[in-house]
Amino acid sequence: MERQIRAMQAQLNTMKKEHNEEVKRARAVLAHQREDAENNPYGQRNSYIGSHPQSNAPLITVRKGTGGPDIGRPASDRADITSWSDFQRATAQDEEVTVGGVKIGFPKGRPTIQSSDGAYALSIGLAFHEDFGGFFNSGPRKGEARGAFNSFTSNMRRLRIPFMFRYKNWVAAVTPDFGANHNDGYVGLYEGNLNYTGFRNTILTAGYFQPRVTEEDSESSNDFFTLERPSITDMVRNIAAGDARFSVGGLHYEKRWWVAGYFTGQEWGHRNGSDNGSTYYGGGSSSTVDSQTGAVLRIAGRPIATKDVDLHVGVSTMSAFKLACNTGTDANHCSRSTSFGQRPEFDIGEANLAATGGITNAAQVWAAGPELGLRWKRLVVKGEYYHVGVERDGPGLKTAGFQGWYGSAAYTLFGDPRMYNYKEGAFGAPGVKANEEFNPALNQWGALEVVGHYSVIDLNSGLNEANAKNVIRGGQQTVWTGGLNWYPNRHFRFMLDYSHFIVSRSMQTTNLYGRTGNSIAARIQAGF
């Protein structure tokens, strides 16, 4: 027995010596490789591209994705800012091609080039919305201006190309928009910002941005029920948020709650007076001597979250607590004013029927209201209400008040139904699995949903006031909309909306006596 033990000990000592020799040789090889890399920094690249015949590594490799919850749903219309770990997870879920150490893939359907470890990445996206259609039975009454209510026309509503540059958890987003404003031919900036995503489920942002406020505004436009947002949410978001607004702040999300807050400034191009319509909603002025400042806050929760039911509740508030100050004929004094107006929810460059006109001596503008939404299996219903206040400073001037609300419903006839997107605190679009993409030969038809929508804004304030300066007759606008949305696959959508609108009289030359009308509108959409 002792002889056997001694023999085993001798064998172990021999194995230890051999192991130590192997470690020494491996360390020597690594040291030599480091020295070669320092002396010849392009050597590793050359080995990738096959300049060394002895290399047996394949130049191109293809890895199949694992799939994920976002597979089959439309891409966002903006830069998709995620943490580095989430970005790597999304990459793992999609097919990926490695060419000489550089990875090329389509996480969430967006073309992306990245380094082998994903630390460096460049993504390029697309949001293409072409609208066409027109109005009928919408003519003016005697004495009114006709307004730009085309019987048929078209408009490049959005043509955004999101560029996203990543280094680990630092992301720069730049998105030009060749469909900015309400008419063809305008080029603008949708976003240009810097983001940090190193904290859990948190995105910190600084730069020109679309601050997330209201449920509708938190959705991507690729996910809208109808062609346009309800009038009230489109109106209130532009008080201190909206597209291309200078913003500093952040958002945080969990599966059951969501919160975002931003300090905001002016819109991109707001101090450029070369074209008064150069900003998204007009108002460019070279006479601005003190830009607007404001803030927005949104809090949302999902108290019920099951396979068949999602209940959404939330509140949004926003304030322009210092409006832009523009000089007039007296260069030593300036005025602060605001205005509100909305088209009848079909945006092809038509005129406003409901509009307040200029509200002078406006010291502060604010809005607040609740959000409510419910998904039950294939049905989604939601609505929001907002009250708007305009604080005025001047003898005898009172606060002006406006309001609006909407209710919408969508039912998915076939395809994957709409689901709750807890990263946005909002409902997303229907989805189309790869084996359900449009292919008549295989009896596959994508996804189809039917939608309905009721929207009201009341831009009248102080109609019974004795002081005429407190009387604002902007009109009350009601819009009924019904439509169909067809998704042949995750990247394309075809929309068809019919709308009927009723607007009480306002001070607009296009609506002196009250006006009604109808529109039929269609959209072709592509998103990557």
| pLDDT at res. 98 | 79
Residue with tokens 């019987």: 151
Burial of 51 (0-12, 13-18, 19+ CB in 10 A): exposed
In the numeric block, which tokens belong to residue 71? 């597979």
Q: Give tens-digit pLDDT for 201-239.
A: 999 999 999 999 999 999 999 999 999 999 999 999 999
Compute the distance between CA of residue 272 and CA of residue 93 in angstroms, rounded to an integer: 44
Closest CA to 338 of 315, 321, 314: 321
The residues, ordered by sequence, that sit 6+ positions from 469 with a Cβ below 8 Å of its Cβ are 394, 396, 397
| pLDDT at res. 351 | 80
Cβ 370 vs Cβ 300: under 8 Å: no
List, for the chain, all residue ranges whose pLDDT scores fall below the cut of 50. Answer: 41-55, 278, 281
| pLDDT at res. 100 | 75
The region, left, alpha or beta by phi > 0 then psi within -120 to 50, assigned to residue 377 is: left
Collapsing DSSP to helix, strand or coil, 95 comes out as coil
| pLDDT at res. 489 | 96
Measure Cα distances from 129 to 254, 288, 303 in Å: 31, 33, 34
Amino acid letter for position 162: P
CA angle 208, 211, 212 (to 5 degrees): 150
DSSP state letters, 251-265: EEE-SSEEEEEEEEE
| pLDDT at res. 296 | 98
Residue 211 backbone dihedrals phi, psi, to 5 degrees: -60, 135
Beta bridge partners of 411: 379, 450
Give the rounded distance of the alpha carbon of 464 from its chain centre. 41
| pLDDT at res. 314 | 98
Beta bridge partners of 407: 383, 454
Compute the distance between CA of residue 522 and CA of residue 483 in angstroms, rounded to an integer: 9
Cα torsion for 228, 128, 527, 525, to the nearest 10°? 60
Residue with tokens 């293809």: 62
Compute the distance between CA of residue 412 and CA of residue 379 in angstroms, rounded to an integer: 7
| pLDDT at res. 22 | 72
Residue with tokens 């009454």: 141
Exposed e or buried b per residue across 84-102, where buried means at least 16 C-beta atoms within 10 angstroms of its C-beta: beebbebbbbbebebeeee
Closest CA to 430 of 351, 374, 383, 490: 490
Cβ 285 vs Cβ 300: under 8 Å: no
The residues, ordered by sequence, that sit 6+ positions from 144 with a Cβ below 8 Å of its Cβ are 509, 510, 511, 512, 513, 515
Cβ 410 vs Cβ 483: under 8 Å: no
Compute the distance between CA of residue 367 and CA of residue 286 in angstroms, rounded to an integer: 27
The residues, ordered by sequence, that sit 6+ positions from 26 with a Cβ below 8 Å of its Cβ are none
Beta bridge partners of 309: 376
Sheet containing strand 288-290, strands side by side: 288-290, 325-327, 334-335
Cβ 475 vs Cβ 353: under 8 Å: yes
Residue with tokens 């390029």: 124
Residue with tokens 């920094």: 41
